[in-house]
Amino acid sequence: MRVLSGIQPTGNLHLGNYLGAIRNWVKMQDEMDADSACFFFLADLHSITVHEERETRIRNVREMAAALIACGIDADRSVLFNQARVPAHAELAWLLNGTARIGWLNRMTQFKDKAGKNREGASIGLFVYPVLQAADILLYQATHVPVGEDQKQHLELTRDIATKFNTDFGVEVFALPEPYIPKESARIMSLRDGTAKMSKSDPSEMSRISLTDDDDAIAQKVRKAKTDPEPLPEVAADLAGRPEALNLVGIYATMTEATPDSVCARFAGQGFGAFKPALAEVLVETLRPIRQRFVALKDDDVALDAILDKGAAKARAVAAPTLARAYDALGLMR
């Protein structure tokens, strides 16, 4: 079993990232044997698909490393690094460009969403983004990839690329990874629109809870979250057609490790005037210690760089044999 996952170091970690992915990274790390490390990385090579100033990008990588550690990633047990420090990612991505098909990439919904109407003006990097993601995963022979629902299609593409490469060259270079997607929190929605995903790119700060929000900001965002005038039902099935209510109940359930049905049973008949303060309290209490650890760490550039250097050295060593086998399968001598 090899666990691996990544996050783009663009902007703050938000509640969707935390409940959809990072919380599971920490759980999987804590359940693994001491000597079978998990790999978690900052997808800074992916982040060049968004324009950033040089200094901002440098800052973002360190801050996202601090945020992951604050959430519970232990850099002594897990391998924590950024892609740019491990050139094998870019190298394997290029090799896989010979295997991935334009038709496959044309089907990627994330490209369509991010490119919007201006597809001709989108960067090539945005288009081949999923091939780099496949390289990230296949380099380490990852078997379990904990992600939110939005990454499922990229994982399926990774399996297709791995299968085609192995078949075309008659080798067993790549293992086929399985996505590991949480049941209740696979898709945390915007606080302003229950039909849109909570996302870093939403222009409204009120749409998401960031891990850097203080207690008052969290409480205010929950208070102002869009809801409806109906009371909560007895069972979660009756939340159908009420996307905002469903999202808030889902967040409460995930945060308290309960089921949506048990949350409904507890608040049945009550309106959001009663439910929202309870949800805010759960969020404030859970996120406060994470924020405090983050604030203590985020400006310690020396310590953060040392952690990323150490992680990258381990990652390079684990990636090297698979990269060498991929070059060899292609008959590329180096």
114 is catalytic: yes
16 near ligand TYM, rule: CB under 6 A: yes
Among 188, 232, 308, 312, binds ligand TYM (CB under 6 A): 188
* Type of residue found at 161: I
Asked whether position 8 contacts ligand TYM by CB under 6 A, the answer is yes
Instruction: Classify strands 79-82 and 39-42 as parallel, antiparallel or unpaired.
Output: parallel
Please list every residue from 76 through 135 that binds ligand TYM, using CB under 6 A. 133
Dihedral of CA atoms 174, 179, 180, 183 in degrees, nearest 10, equals -170
Closest approach of ligand TYM to the CB of residue 46, in Å: 5
CB of 8 to ligand TYM, least distance (A): 4
Please tell me whether residue 221 binds ligand TYM under the rule CB under 6 A: no
How far apart (Å, rounded) are the C-alpha atoms in residues 245 and 237? 12
- Residue for token digits 């990269």? 323
- With 0-12 / 13-18 / 19 or more C-beta atoms within 10 angstroms meaning exposed / middle / buried, residue 206 is middle
Residue among 60, 78, 82, 151 that touches ligand TYM (CB under 6 A): 151
Stretch near ligand TYM under the rule CB under 6 A, chosen from 112-120, 147-155, 222-230, 313-321: 147-155
- Cα–Cα distance, 54 to 179 (Å, whole number): 33
Return d(Cα 18, Cα 222) in angstroms, integer.
Answer: 17
Q: Torsion angle, CA of 226/188/127/174, rounded to 10 degrees?
A: 180
Does position 5 bind ligand TYM by CB under 6 A? yes
Residues identified as active-site: 114, 197, 200
Contacts to ligand TYM by CB under 6 A:
5-8, 16-17, 20-21, 43, 46, 133, 136-137, 145, 147-148, 150-151, 186-188, 197-199
